[in-house]
Structure 1
Amino acid sequence: MRAGFILSEVGSGLKKNFSMVLSVILVTFVSLLFVGAAILLQMQVGQMKDYWYDRVQVSVFLCPPDSEATNCVDGEVTDAQKKNIEDALAGPELAPYVDTVYFEDKAEAYKHFQDQFKGTSLEGTVPESDMNESYRIKLKDAEKYEIIKEYFSSTQGVEEVVDQNQLLDRLFGVLNVATVVAVVIAGIMLLCAMLLIATTIRLSAFARRRETGIMRLVGASNSFIQLPFLLEGVIAAAIGATLAAGTLGLLVHFGVSGWLQEQATGFNLISGVDVLIVAPILIAIGVVMAGASSLITLNKYTKV
């Protein structure tokens, strides 16, 4: 009997305040869409870090002819200088950091240059004799790349030390900024949703003040009076959260796992499984947000 009465009151409240309830659903949907996007973006950043940092290399470029670098004052790198560099890479001081070393000669460097700039104005502009020979170093711990850079920065015969981590750090920095922006927007929208839920509950309580007055007279408890109003806000927020999760699922399925995965072959992107992990979080945030906002409002306007 009590459950049926509460459900009927909830249904009545949702019908009477349909426009406000719809507004709550839409605001919750948009805010949690940003929250979910921020979470998924961070999950993608984590996957990309695991992939790229495992494959990152430090390239030690040797002096080519006519280089103006400080370590190349004697001209092109000599065999003796190459031997010193190879001994250092194989020595005990760098052994804890170096995993594998690959030497790229001028012919290979020239081939890679031609492949990279094929069909552009740069193709064929640099002769093979002017290409840099280099040592490509795979590290045991990619985050230790600064050690290799500092070690060879003043070594004779070395023109430049380039680590791919610098480029990756910039990329991940941009993605992290995008995450922060999404979180800020989501926070603003969540605040709007909480205020709108509070307004909706207050209007609903005011519209049914006669019914709540009668319930007080017959001895109904405060929690029994408040429960229908609380459920109205929670249901509206839960619907908005579910819509946000469903939208993210569609975007990931068709946009990321579909089109983007075909363009970015070679490493994994987020998938529907990740959305299934995020969905309960979004629903929980929506329910807690609506519950807290509703309770604060109800304690003020329906207190016995």
Structure 2
Amino acid sequence: MVPSNFGYSLRECGHHFRRNWTTVLGAVVTIFLSLFIIGLFVIASAMINNMVGSVEDRVTIQAFLSDDADQATVNSFQEDIASWDNVESVTYKSKDEALEDYQTSMSNRNASDALAALDSENPLPASLVIKLTDPQQVESTAQKIAQSSTFQKICDQSDNPAGDVKYGQETVEKLFSVTNYLRIGAIVLVALLTFVAFVFINNTIRLAITARRREIGIMRLVGASNGFIRGPFIMEGTLEAVIGALLAIVVLFVGVNALLPALSSSMAFLAFDVSSMTLYATFGLLLLLGVLIGFFGSAIAMRRYLKV
């Protein structure tokens, strides 16, 4: 399907662009809108994935320790957990630090009232705070900690070690369920939009070729080969797709650089950032997708006119 005469195809493509600029404009706009929507959803999916990742990264395990636990045993167990494959870091939180965190999370008045009721005693236990490299494995890691014979010796409740390993079980399960659905939904939606864009663009190119069927018929009558006839149309469809893809890339680039800083400053608690690698990979994908859609869309649309 490679044009048999590249120079001729390019000249004919230029002539048609000038003679039928309205048709060309319609095809370019169609391709631009289709690829722009695909690019928008790809970037939005990357943003959602970053947000989900930032929320998942906050999932930690707290292993509560007895006040009478031997500090050497605690330190040894901390080093042991740190050597596990899925563990990123293990931090020891003392009773005083636990109380300070409690006071920070509560309002000053509520914290003061609670401490007054306890006669300024600190009932909160020390703990090990474990951060994981893969938060999806939080349940299996928590079970491993609870089943450890060393932890059972130093845990706060010796009769119920599993009760001393907390990671917000119900909340974490719901979080992972929602995030997995979001990721799957984003992939399915982008795939569906790509298919719809291909069908839409193919129909647009087919209409342009149908309008020139007499020209194709004359070329066949004078003995032109299929490759010679096909060349200008494939060149035209490919160039229209490339122009549409470049327009989509420019608009997305300007939009991302204009909107993301504003969103990040107004809602700093969410990760609205998109890495440069993801952005440029998306732009490369749109350009490649445009070339493929233009090339194969033109070739497929012309098949009916090149049958002997």
Report what 1:237 is aligned to. Answer: 241
1:90 Cα deviation from its structure 2 partner: 0.7
Instruction: Provide Cα deviations, 1:253-281, integer angstroms capped at 9, x if missing partner.
Output: 23334541675489893244531232111
What number of residue pairs does the alignment pair up? 281
Unaligned runs of 5+ in 1: 63-76
The yes-or-no answer on 1:132 pairing with 2:139 is no
Unaligned runs of 5+ in 2: 1-6, 158-162
Asked if the contact 2:13–2:233 (Cα under 8 Å) also holds between the matched residues in 1, the reply is no
Report what 1:116 is aligned to. Answer: 105
1:59 corresponds to which of 57, 62, 65 = 62
Asked if the contact 2:29–2:244 (Cα under 8 Å) also holds between the matched residues in 1, the reply is no
Asked if the contact 1:33–1:245 (Cα under 8 Å) also holds between the matched residues in 2, the reply is no
Report what 1:151 is aligned to. Answer: 145
Q: CA distance change for structure 1 residues 241 and 87 in 2, over 3 Å: closer, same or farther?
A: same
1:233 Cα deviation from its structure 2 partner: 3.1
- Which deviates further from its counterpart, 232-241 or 185-194? 232-241
Asked if the contact 1:40–1:274 (Cα under 8 Å) also holds between the matched residues in 2, the reply is no
Asked if the contact 1:33–1:248 (Cα under 8 Å) also holds between the matched residues in 2, the reply is yes
1:142 Cα deviation from its structure 2 partner: 5.7
2:202 corresponds to which of 195, 198, 201 = 198
C-alpha separation in 1, matches of 2:132 and 2:181:
29
1:32 Cα deviation from its structure 2 partner: 3.5
Instruction: Provide Cα deviations, 1:230-273, integer angstroms capped at 9, x if missing partner.
Output: 23433343344334333432343233345416754898932445
Correspondence 1:215-254 to 2 at 5 A = 215-254=219-258
Report what 1:278 is aligned to. Answer: 282
Asked if the contact 2:31–2:245 (Cα under 8 Å) also holds between the matched residues in 1, the reply is no
C-alpha separation in 1, matches of 2:272 and 2:30:
37
Correspondence 1:69-80 to 2 at 5 A = 77-79=66-68
2:93 corresponds to which of 81, 95, 103 = 103
C-alpha separation in 2, matches of 1:266 and 1:182:
18
Asked if the contact 2:35–2:197 (Cα under 8 Å) also holds between the matched residues in 1, the reply is yes
1:149 Cα deviation from its structure 2 partner: 4.2
Report what 2:11 is aligned to. Answer: 4
Instruction: Provide Cα deviations, 1:149-200, integer angstroms capped at 9, x if missing partner.
Output: 4333683524521248996786565444333323323333222222222222
Identity %: 25
What is the TM-score with the length of structure 1 in the denominator?
Answer: 0.71
Report what 1:26 is aligned to. Answer: 33
C-alpha separation in 2, matches of 1:151 and 1:279:
45
Correspondence 1:138-217 to 2 at 5 A = 138=130, 146-152=140-146, 155=152, 157-158=156-157, 159-163=163-167, 171=175, 174-217=178-221
C-alpha separation in 1, matches of 2:183 and 2:209:
38
C-alpha separation in 1, matches of 2:181 and 2:303:
39
Asked if the contact 2:91–2:128 (Cα under 8 Å) also holds between the matched residues in 1, the reply is yes
Q: CA RMSD in A?
A: 4.0
C-alpha separation in 2, matches of 1:142 and 1:112:
25
Q: CA distance change for structure 1 residues 289 and 172 in 2, over 3 Å: closer, same or farther?
A: farther
SS of the equivalent of 1:129 reads coil
SS of the equivalent of 2:114 reads coil
- Which deviates further from its counterpart, 221-230 or 168-177? 168-177
**What letter matches 1:281 in structure 2?**
L
1:111 Cα deviation from its structure 2 partner: 2.0
**What letter matches 1:242 in structure 2?**
L
C-alpha separation in 2, matches of 1:165 and 1:12:
67
C-alpha separation in 2, matches of 1:95 and 1:140:
10
